[in-house]
Structure 1
């Protein structure tokens, strides 16, 4: 019986192939890395052929590890990195390397974009402010700087869409990936005529958007041979990595929310309507569910701040961890627990790479505030995690003013493994924090559930509530409430007070 689901998560560092059964159990996984190229400052590119090689090799390895026959696979589904730009010709051959989400070369194009159309209008239509990180500015950059490439462009594809083309011969995308292009009308589920006119991007080079729950086509004989699979397997469109992670965290009903905790971090909710912030501090993607949306806010350096601390301030702890062969973050967590909530009134502003939500200020910088001779190493370490939590709380507060949220916040991502940090989040948010059993595979699980719904293995996306098993729960401690509320108020004032300083620092050469 065909009941196993093969899910691919085409990420920034590589492709993860995973195999799930109808109970949502992870049977096996395999990871194939690929490089990112940085030709110039703020440029980031990948070779789409590397994606394809990684998908094929990880599939072959996965089947070996799982020790299952290919005839057990019910479908292939995808999640993938978003906001990219891969121009291909009529035969689907890439015309250049893919410009990926991290690329910000299109700053000049973003300025032109803003001159042609009111930014608030773009925000209302697409759910996003104008930014060089989205696909529109990257397409404009190609048109203006590589005219021969643009002239021969038949379609602009995202990472998962290119792989789907390789598997089926179909060029299309889904609503969630389309919603990360600064070109998509969220409510109408179509490309915005007003924005296409303003950017002069022809609609014919954009792939036709579909529901994530649709089958794109069947696996061709040629691709099946390369992947050691059987031809004819249904290939499901799937969705962008963030929206798929939402499903993998069991966040599928209105008001459900989750917090991704990795190098960067975001808080996302499920809603029936886009959420608009008057100051455009948050944004809205389309959900994997065809009738829902995923309002969110992303900060730049969450786990990245903790990593910076480990590598630059906590070298001794890192050295000891290496000597005794344990995770250095476990030692840091012990240090955190030896300091008191509030870090003895020491604040950390986690703006080590500027900031997206809530400030959208690339000139913002990190800072320790309130440092005295009485502070200890443990206070400094704890203040970093608390600073990340305070910044995320600003995003949470913006979202909950628009949509009633439940009392529970689910956490996924590598930093969610830290029970210490989960407790800090619970205290700062004043919410129950629940950690699913698959914190680092939530994205691939979401892609698998999406695929399973598309081919009838699952009835609907609501099955995520049953399949996502909660492993650990943290409850807010009443005795920490007053301390954290007072420090949170000061934390918000600290950014405002330092904003002029950031400007002055940026002007010093």
Structure 2
């Protein structure tokens, strides 16, 4: 006999599932990938049914691995990628593929919205930042203008989390943190209905709202059969990935920060203040109903490393005698000096959100010469993502007064010791990594469910539940070269941004 929670962390490229006890101890894990679809330049979509297939598959796998009885499962919770757009029709049917958070198709609609506020400058003075083609409301407007039949048939727009709760319970709802990536009044805890109306979006197409810790319904008979679980098992509100990661990193209190390194990356600081968006940073609802968070998202991090591996290490990937091509790459990177012999990578493969907001900018390998090798490129990617994070941290201090003294890391990237040391050296701050860093989001979700079940009173329980794994100290000898190259890194953006816009504006 026991008491267990199943938590799903539904990311951009895969679902990671954990079965944990009420202390957050992991009994079993499973994962299942799903593809990103790119039918046009700057479009990124996913099939919602792929998410559900991953959910049902991994649920059955963790049950089989752990050999627990389904009757001992206390609840299910989803933590997911943010800003998804899944239109649900009158019959509960999905009307089109999910428009992913990395999709940037709606630049024209973003400009239309800002023009309603007398242009970008006035819009920024009101909101704190400009709106871009990757944001949700411009993409809702894109659907209305470019796919009017779908817009007119839509009863509710759901994000990925809302869709999974809908599949689980039959109830169309969205959780506060997910809503805060759409358009959410952080004070009143409700939709910004007037803003949606001004932008041309019918607020009646937005679902009712719940908190992360709320029990929103029970598993339907159909969903239970697909998961090998019992009908009626409680399903909780859940939250987006940034918010659940903050819980799983024990960074949920005032001024506490964490950094995620995975396919993408982000810097997140928790606060009880209602702040403005600035320099691409977003102010969003925390999983804790009483807190908010400021987050700066870097759209491409681990995906840049994947690109290097795919383009320059093809033979090694095909060699069956090499177990881990990334370990091989890391071993070579160690021999490249800090600064990669003045090779700089700007990792903006997908445009960028923070520290600068741009749809048209793309990645650059800058100052490349005959002396540079693929190992230089690899180290330059590690450094480039670290420069981006350092720039975000500088903006957080300047714009919000956040002084992050120690960097607390989660995500698969935090397992890379070379990268962690580079990050410590670039930022000149100590780096610590959380135990089970790849599962931090799912564990954070499980803690939300445990609070919803009444097992814990509030989010202060993370102090006892989350453990630290490794520590990295900055090498002060490397401060000079990295400070110099960080300055050059910023200059690259300001020098080339107009050129990127000129080249890519018609494409995107």
Structure 1 length as normaliser, TM-score? 0.90
Runs of 4 or more, structure 1, over 6 Å off, are 120-128
Partners in 2 of 1:77 and 1:354 — Cα distance?
A: 31
Q: Residues 69 and 324 from structure 1, CA distance in 2 versus in 1: closer, same or farther, beyond 3 angstroms?
A: same
Matches within 5 A, 1:118-137: 129-137=130-138
Partners in 1 of 2:356 and 2:502 — Cα distance?
A: 17
- Give the aligned partner of residue 290 of structure 2: 291
Contact kept, 8 Å, 1:128 with 1:284, in 2: the verdict is: no
Matches within 5 A, 1:138-177: 138-177=139-178
Q: Residues 284 and 123 from structure 1, CA distance in 2 versus in 1: closer, same or farther, beyond 3 angstroms?
A: farther
- Give the aligned partner of residue 456 of structure 1: 454
Matches within 5 A, 1:353-392: 353-371=350-368, 378-392=375-389
Q: Residues 403 and 293 from structure 1, CA distance in 2 versus in 1: closer, same or farther, beyond 3 angstroms?
A: farther
Q: Residues 377 and 229 from structure 1, CA distance in 2 versus in 1: closer, same or farther, beyond 3 angstroms?
A: closer
Q: Residues 234 and 352 from structure 1, CA distance in 2 versus in 1: closer, same or farther, beyond 3 angstroms?
A: closer
The structure 2 residue matched to 1:334, chosen from 324, 331, 334, is 331
Which structure 2 residue ranges, 5 or more long, are not aligned? none
For these two proteins, the number of residue pairs brought into alignment is 505
Which structure 1 residue ranges, 5 or more long, are not aligned? none
- Give the aligned partner of residue 348 of structure 1: 345
Deviation at 1:490, TM superposition (A): 2.8
Partners in 1 of 2:229 and 2:125 — Cα distance?
A: 44
Partners in 1 of 2:337 and 2:40 — Cα distance?
A: 44
What do you get for the CA RMSD once the two structures are aligned? 2.7
Contact kept, 8 Å, 1:2 with 1:71, in 2: the verdict is: no
Partners in 2 of 1:55 and 1:346 — Cα distance?
A: 42
Indicate whether 1:28 and 2:25 are aligned: no
Partners in 1 of 2:491 and 2:225 — Cα distance?
A: 60
Contact kept, 8 Å, 2:102 with 2:350, in 1: the verdict is: no
Contact kept, 8 Å, 1:46 with 1:100, in 2: the verdict is: yes
Deviation at 1:250, TM superposition (A): 1.6
Q: Residues 369 and 99 from structure 1, CA distance in 2 versus in 1: closer, same or farther, beyond 3 angstroms?
A: closer
Deviation at 1:360, TM superposition (A): 2.1
Partners in 2 of 1:409 and 1:101 — Cα distance?
A: 25
- Give the aligned partner of residue 487 of structure 1: 485
Q: Residues 153 and 437 from structure 1, CA distance in 2 versus in 1: closer, same or farther, beyond 3 angstroms?
A: same
Partners in 2 of 1:248 and 1:221 — Cα distance?
A: 31
Indicate whether 1:189 and 2:189 are aligned: yes
Partners in 1 of 2:218 and 2:477 — Cα distance?
A: 57
Partners in 2 of 1:126 and 1:218 — Cα distance?
A: 38
Farther-moved stretch of structure 1 (339-348 vs 293-302) = 339-348
Partners in 2 of 1:500 and 1:116 — Cα distance?
A: 24
SS at structure 1 position matched to 2:379? helix
Matches within 5 A, 1:296-445: 296-314=295-313, 322-371=319-368, 378-401=375-398, 402-445=400-443
Partners in 2 of 1:166 and 1:499 — Cα distance?
A: 43
Deviation at 1:334, TM superposition (A): 1.8
Partners in 2 of 1:376 and 1:226 — Cα distance?
A: 50
Partners in 2 of 1:429 and 1:502 — Cα distance?
A: 27
Contact kept, 8 Å, 1:274 with 1:294, in 2: the verdict is: no
Render the CA deviation track for 1:275-302: whole Å, top value 9, x for unaligned.
4355x33222211111212211122332
Q: Residues 126 and 198 from structure 1, CA distance in 2 versus in 1: closer, same or farther, beyond 3 angstroms?
A: same
Structure 2 length as normaliser, TM-score? 0.91
Partners in 2 of 1:53 and 1:9 — Cα distance?
A: 14
- Give the aligned partner of residue 44 of structure 1: 44
Partners in 2 of 1:128 and 1:217 — Cα distance?
A: 37
Deviation at 1:79, TM superposition (A): 0.7
Partners in 2 of 1:190 and 1:129 — Cα distance?
A: 22
Contact kept, 8 Å, 1:213 with 1:236, in 2: the verdict is: yes
Q: Residues 376 and 145 from structure 1, CA distance in 2 versus in 1: closer, same or farther, beyond 3 angstroms?
A: closer
Contact kept, 8 Å, 1:275 with 1:283, in 2: the verdict is: no
Farther-moved stretch of structure 1 (470-479 vs 38-47) = 38-47
Q: Residues 468 and 373 from structure 1, CA distance in 2 versus in 1: closer, same or farther, beyond 3 angstroms?
A: same
Contact kept, 8 Å, 2:129 with 2:277, in 1: the verdict is: no
Indicate whether 1:267 and 2:267 are aligned: yes
Deviation at 1:375, TM superposition (A): 5.3
- Give the aligned partner of residue 467 of structure 1: 465
Contact kept, 8 Å, 1:271 with 1:403, in 2: the verdict is: no
Deviation at 1:126, TM superposition (A): 7.2
